[in-house]
A and B are shown apart, each in its own frame.
Chain A
């Protein structure tokens, strides 16, 4: 029999949650610093206030639940799911205080969108937003993309509990034997690219005559949101603001690398560069990008004459890889999607968003490895049926090391694929209940669940509140890949009916 959640479970979860909220309070001091160096006093006070709210709430919880225990699996999973909700509630406070949001719900939406690295925005007039708030939006993307828990892991969760919370955050692979080392390696990769990516972007921005301070701000924010495949940008127009092919190429490089499995990064960085060519997931990824891009091309060129090959390639391909890696950067406007994109091309984008990036990366969606395994499974079944009965069929693939496909892999992949597809469709249906046409509603639903952030115009501060809540749920479910959220639901239900 499955044991019910007990009081002990609650107190250990709350203990770590308290620490997490306390940690949020400390992290919020970074935007204070940004505010102070830009002499933005009102935003700095907002961040100090928000930070103090977090510190106060965190220390109050820690005062009440001060005992540190090792977590078991269900506690770890529930803790992860809950900590994302808490992060949303507390991360939204400074956004709400900024006055750029119509309601607290809107700022919750934006906070979840940032933490889950989605990139759907409800902010008003971001062009006149203070640096401190804007930095916080992007910083939340960075924290969420790395994994709120991963950030916390490097700070304070010890020992046996670490792996249990790490797995809850949609990363089942340990790159190194020790989870803390893994977390550190993920940071090393991210920080290395932070330096490289920011420097290149800074260089381009400076060449384009932007003042040094602002160029640095643009570059850091673009990197944080691009690397963690979030898709927020400093200005309302997103990447279109820059009108620069160079920026588009560099951001595309950043998010393509951000959507690569950290295990592959590790292999390549430790003297096995051939992993880039041999890796099964990357091969499927390349194939999938090319296949879906062909779909977009055919859909597009048949119906709509672009003035020449280069403009067409620039706009269509950027959208496609942006969708496929789950970043949601866009170099076109929402109206472009609405008025110029034919249904077949939109279908290509929706499929790309749905499939998502690599597993154990910062990307969202179903993840390419699962799709690959699913097809390997089909191939294996066909081979079994067409071989003599005595034959033993082994299907192999190379992912960091050679692995043979087992039924368990296929089962887990299929479950997750089905769950994602169900949520995509459910969101689309709910959207059409609210009176939107089905295709845009499906587009938006997939975009929210797969943590992409491209929009066909449904996401706006004026959309119905119910739909905002639905999308928040979808972003949360999609980011955590369902399982930990389901464990949390079970936990809450068992609290209501203790036996």
Chain B
């Protein structure tokens, strides 16, 4: 029973590796071993962040994997697939892109890019609610009161000074 269980697990893990991890190139490798991947078809996975920018025909989206980013060139159909872009309060779609990697793309004036052939959403992005911290609010109110007292005092002192009263 136990062995069977293990076999199933093993099979499943191999299956999942084949389906997802086997061909995905970690993004840092595209930068560190640029020569190796130049002009090759690669597959990367990461979060789409920021904006989709374009001129009506070709579009750019930046994909983030750890501390590394790469510009993906999309056509107008592929552009429609990416719905959530990573911003404040938004976790962007995790996309899996395969396409040709160029270190100095001849089409785009030397940009480092991947011309997407396929793009698929691995995990849909979502909205993240912000948390309001009550400590900060309480502290603000307290500080506000203290500040008002200080300002009131310094104004009164100035006033006294202005009318020739003693000070310091």
A binding-site residues for B, Cβ under 8 Å: 40-42, 45-46, 48-49, 52-53, 55-56, 59-60, 62-63, 66-67, 97, 127-131, 205, 207-211, 214, 235-237, 240-245, 306-308, 310-312, 314-315, 332-333, 335-336, 339-340
Complex Cα distance A340/B43, Å? 23
Stretch at the interface among B1-9, B15-23, B103-111, B116-124: B103-111
The answer to whether A41 touches B60 (Cβ under 8 A) is no
Interface membership of B88, Cβ < 8 A: yes
Complex Cα distance A339/B132, Å? 44
Other than the known A127-B50, A209-B53, what 15 A-B pairs have Cβ atoms closer than 8 Å? A59-B147, A63-B153, A66-B161, A127-B49, A128-B91, A209-B51, A210-B51, A210-B53, A237-B69, A240-B69, A241-B69, A243-B111, A310-B110, A311-B110, A314-B109
The answer to whether A56 touches B154 (Cβ under 8 A) is no
Complex Cα distance A311/B108, Å? 8
The answer to whether B69 touches A306 (Cβ under 8 A) is no
Q: For residue B101, give the distance in angstroms from its CB to the closest CB of chain A.
A: 14
Complex Cα distance A41/B158, Å? 36
User: Given A129, A131, A314, A335, which contacts B110 in the complex, CB threshold below 8 Å?
Assistant: A314
Complex Cα distance A332/B71, Å? 12
With A52-B147, A243-B71 already in contact, the answer to whether A63 and B157 are too (CB < 8 A) is yes
Which B residues touch A310, using CB under 8 A? 109-110
The answer to whether A128 touches B88 (Cβ under 8 A) is yes
User: Given A46, A237, A311, A336, which contacts B136 in the complex, CB threshold below 8 Å?
Assistant: A46
User: Given A128, A242, A308, A311, which contacts B86 in the complex, CB threshold below 8 Å?
Assistant: A128
User: Given A40, A97, A205, which contacts B130 in the complex, CB threshold below 8 Å?
Assistant: A40
The answer to whether B108 touches A243 (Cβ under 8 A) is yes
Q: Sorted from nearest, which 9 A-B pairs have the closest CB atoms?
A: A311-B110, A59-B150, A335-B31, A52-B143, A130-B88, A127-B49, A208-B53, A42-B130, A56-B147
Which B residues touch A244, using CB under 8 A? 53
User: Given A49, A52, A243, A335, which contacts B60 in the complex, CB threshold below 8 Å?
Assistant: A243
Query: Please, could you name 7 A-B residue pairs with CB atoms under 8 Å apart, sorted by A?
Result: A45-B133, A56-B143, A127-B86, A209-B52, A237-B62, A308-B106, A310-B109
Tell me if A's interface is mostly helix, strand, loop or mixed: helix
Q: For residue B54, give the distance in angstroms from its CB to the closest CB of chain A.
A: 5
User: Which of B50, B55, B90: most chain A Cβ within 10 A?
Assistant: B50
Complex Cα distance A62/B157, Å? 10
Residue of A nearest to B137 (CB): A45
Q: For residue A180, give the distance in angstroms from its CB to the closest CB of chain B.
A: 23
**Interface membership of chain B positions 126-145, coded 1 if the CB is closer than 8 angstroms to chain A and 0 otherwise:** 00001111001101100110
The answer to whether B54 touches A235 (Cβ under 8 A) is no
The answer to whether B140 touches A236 (Cβ under 8 A) is no
With A63-B154, A237-B62, A308-B106 already in contact, the answer to whether A333 and B132 are too (CB < 8 A) is no
Complex Cα distance A236/B65, Å? 12
Interface membership of B151, Cβ < 8 A: yes
Complex Cα distance A333/B64, Å? 14
User: Given A49, A55, A59, A336, which contacts B139 in the complex, CB threshold below 8 Å?
Assistant: A49
Residues of B within 8 A of A (CB-CB), count: 53
Complex Cα distance A59/B143, Å? 12
Which B residues touch A211, using CB under 8 A? 51
With A48-B140, A237-B69, A339-B34 already in contact, the answer to whether A306 and B110 are too (CB < 8 A) is yes
The answer to whether B154 touches A59 (Cβ under 8 A) is yes
User: Which of A48, A209, A242: most chain B Cβ within 10 A?
Assistant: A209
Which B residues touch A56, using CB under 8 A? 143, 146-147, 150
The answer to whether B110 touches A53 (Cβ under 8 A) is no
The answer to whether B132 touches A45 (Cβ under 8 A) is yes
Complex Cα distance A60/B148, Å? 11
Complex Cα distance A183/B4, Å? 81
Complex Cα distance A53/B150, Å? 12
The answer to whether A235 touches B49 (Cβ under 8 A) is yes
Complex Cα distance A448/B3, Å? 61
The answer to whether B112 touches A60 (Cβ under 8 A) is no
* CB-contacts of B43-69 with A (<8 A): 49-56, 59-60, 62, 64, 67, 69
User: Given B55, B104, B140, which contacts A208 in the complex, CB threshold below 8 Å?
Assistant: B55
Complex Cα distance A211/B140, Å? 34
Q: For residue A331, give the distance in angstroms from its CB to the closest CB of chain B.
A: 9
The answer to whether B110 touches A42 (Cβ under 8 A) is no
**Interface membership of chain B positions 60-94, coded 1 if the CB is closer than 8 angstroms to chain A and 0 otherwise:** 10101001010100000000000000111111000
The answer to whether A45 touches B62 (Cβ under 8 A) is no
Which A residues touch B64, using CB under 8 A? 127, 236
With A41-B132, A60-B150, A209-B59 already in contact, the answer to whether A307 and B139 are too (CB < 8 A) is no
The answer to whether A311 touches B146 (Cβ under 8 A) is no
Complex Cα distance A45/B137, Å? 7
With A63-B154, A333-B31 already in contact, the answer to whether A45 and B147 are too (CB < 8 A) is no
Residue of A nearest to B110 (CB): A311
Which B residues touch A46, using CB under 8 A? 136
The answer to whether B168 touches A241 (Cβ under 8 A) is no
Residue of B nearest to A211 (CB): B51
With A67-B168, A208-B53, A237-B62 already in contact, the answer to whether A335 and B109 are too (CB < 8 A) is no
